Structures are given as C-alpha cells and as structure tokens.
Amino acid sequence: MRRPAAVLQGGGMRCWLMPLLAIACLATLPACASPRRKTPEPIASPVGSGKGVLPSATAPAATTGDAQEDDLDEYDVVEIADPLEPVNRAIFSFNHVLYKGVLRPASKGYEFLVPSLVRKGIHNAYENVRFPVRFVNHALQGKFDRAGREFEKFLVNSVLGVGGLMKPSDKFPALAGVPAASTGQTFSKWGIDHGFYFVIPVLGPSSVRDTAGLVGDGALNPVSWVAFAFGGSAWTLAVTSPDTVRSWPDQMDQYDTVTKEAVDRYLAARSSYVQYRKALKER
C-alpha cells in the first residue's frame, strides 16, 4: 500500500545499519505474542513499483444486513498479529483524511500540470536508479540469473534510454519481465515472519519485518546516497521529492480501489497489504 507513500530518505550506511539489524531481530519474535486478526486470500496482483506501502487489491463490495456479516467473515484465512489495532485504526483514520484532503488533490494536480510523457520519464529514471535495490536482493535470494538480467537491463536503459528516461529494455523479452525485488521480500523468502502489523503515519500499512525492509531499501537506494553526500534539507527535498510525487497517482488509485466500497476500510487495507506481501514472496 512499493510500502502510497513515500518518505524522505537520507543518511549514510552507518545510520541505516543499526536500525536495520535491530528491527530485523524484532521481526523474528513469535507472532503469537498477541491475538491475531484474520484476513482473506490474495485477490489481486501486487504493485509493480515495489514500494508496497499502499495496498493493491479489489475491496469487498459494500452490503447490508446479513450480507455485511458474510463480507466480514471473509477476513478469515491469512493471519497477522495486530496487537496495536486501536492505535493503528486511529493512525489509519488520520491517513485517510490526509489522503483524501491533501494527497489525492495533489496527485490530480501533478497529473494535470505535468505532461504524461514527462511523468513517464521521471518514473523511468527513478526506477532505473533503484537498480542496486533489485540487484542486491535478487542476489541475496540466490536468484543470480535475475540479478544478471537486472544488470543488463540497467545498462541498456542507462545507455540507450538516456540515463533511464526511456525503457528500451522493454523491447527485449529476456529483460522486460524481470520481477522487482526488495529487502522486505528477501526477509520473507528467508523465512522471517511479519512480526506484528502496524500503520505508519502517511506511509500506511507495514509490519516489523517490512519496516526493516524499508530501511534496507533506503540504504541501497542511490537517491539516499546523493542526499547524504550533499547534505542539507533543501538538497534532500530536491532529490527525493520527484520520487515521492511520481508515485502518488498510482498509489491513490490503489487506495481508492481497496477502500472505496469496503465494509471496514481498515480491515480491507490490512488484508490487501498481507495479500500483496504474500504475492511478492511467491514471485
């Protein structure tokens, strides 16, 4: 629900390392430490951006009476610990108001003011820059063939695509279908459980494991390196803001799809998040 949502990322490798190790250790704590809340089986494919902060799925249709109870009973297959549900619901409500009142209008303004071709170029360039995140995590998952193809794709897009503004790699079948990879996905494939579920202000749904994954992704993202190297809030905003804004339209659409007709928006977003992360693990 790639975790709508984006956060300014900066700091060096040393700044990222200790929080990453600490949170990763927490993720191994038994999920049975608190009552589990239940969610449904996957009903949609994952988001291609890799952020995964806002969910991407089809929310259950709104119903009335007994049909509403049946709808809620569908949240009974996939489990995730949610000991902070009251707090999570409060943060979720805050995020909902923020999304509807600020980010949705801002995303519409971005689409209106910035031509489609320019938006696509910005998106392609930042995705190309994230090459180390995908390359390293494919390698950590033992998928060296994918890592090799990811490297080839990066070279093709950087050279023939004018620094990644275009994606000529899509014209090569062997390179076009390389799945994305992230640190949270790697932790999942290593058998690390979610830990408990929580909602991050602005960012949205997450878990202990996937928050550690966000830290790892930030440490591997060259955008973070540039912001750290030059320092200063103005430079950090200049480097990271386009990456943040370019994701808003898709993420707002995903959020609306999940929650618009849901009987319980919170449960719909949580279940969609779990589905999305499960789909990533199975790639």
Reported as a single tens digit per residue, the pLDDT across 186-219 is 999 999 999 999 999 999 999 999 999 999 999 9
Strand 78-81 and strand 197-200: the pairing is: unpaired
Q: What would you measure as the largest C-alpha separation in the chain, in angstroms?
A: 59
**53-67, 92-106, 131-145: which range is least confident on average?**
53-67
For residue 272, name the pLDDT band (cuts at 50, 70, 90).
very high
Mean pLDDT of 252-270: 93
Put simply, whether the predicted model's pTM sits higher than 0.75 gets the answer no
Please give the structure tokens belonging to residue 170: 């899509």
Mean pLDDT of 34-43: 37
Number of neighbouring beta carbons within 10 Å of residue 115: 10
Question: Is the pLDDT score of 42 beyond 70?
Answer: no
Question: Distance between CA 240 and CA 224 in Å, rounded?
Answer: 8
Q: What percent of the chain has pLDDT over 70?
A: 71
For residue 283, name the pLDDT band (cuts at 50, 70, 90).
confident
Mean pLDDT of 82-94: 97
Strand 78-81 and strand 36-39: the pairing is: antiparallel
**8-22, 92-106, 134-148: which range is least confident on average?**
8-22
According to the model, what pLDDT value does residue 163 have? 92
According to the model, what pLDDT value does residue 70 have? 47
For residue 18, name the pLDDT band (cuts at 50, 70, 90).
very low
Question: Is the pLDDT score of 224 beyond 70?
Answer: yes
User: What one-character-per-residue DSSP string does the chain give?
Assistant: ------------HHHHHHHHHHHHHHHTS-GGGS-EEEEPPP-SPPPTTS--SS--SPPPPP--THHHHHHHHT--SEEEE-TTHHHHHHHHHHHHHHIIIIIHHHHHHHHHHS-HHHHHHHHHHHHHHTHHHHHHHHHHTT-HHHHHHHHHHHHHHHHTTTTTTS-GGGGSHHHHTPPP--HHHHHHHTT----BEEEETTTEEEEHHHHHHHHHHHHH-HHHHHHHHH-SHHHHHHHHHHHHHTTHHHHHHHHHHHHTT-SSHHHHHHHHHHHHHHHHHT-
Please give the structure tokens belonging to residue 41: 């089986």
Number of neighbouring beta carbons within 10 Å of residue 59: 25
According to the model, what pLDDT value does residue 228 have? 77
Mean pLDDT of 230-257: 84
Number of neighbouring beta carbons within 10 Å of residue 232: 10
For residue 79, name the pLDDT band (cuts at 50, 70, 90).
confident
According to the model, what pLDDT value does residue 78 have? 55
86 within 8 A of 206, measured Cβ to Cβ: no
Question: Is the pLDDT score of 10 beyond 50?
Answer: no
According to the model, what pLDDT value does residue 86 have? 97
- Tens of pLDDT along 150-194? 999 999 999 999 999 999 999 999 999 899 999 999 999 999 999
* Mean of per-residue pLDDT scores for the chain: 78
Q: Crossing angle, helix 265-281 and helix 85-98, to 10 degrees?
A: 100
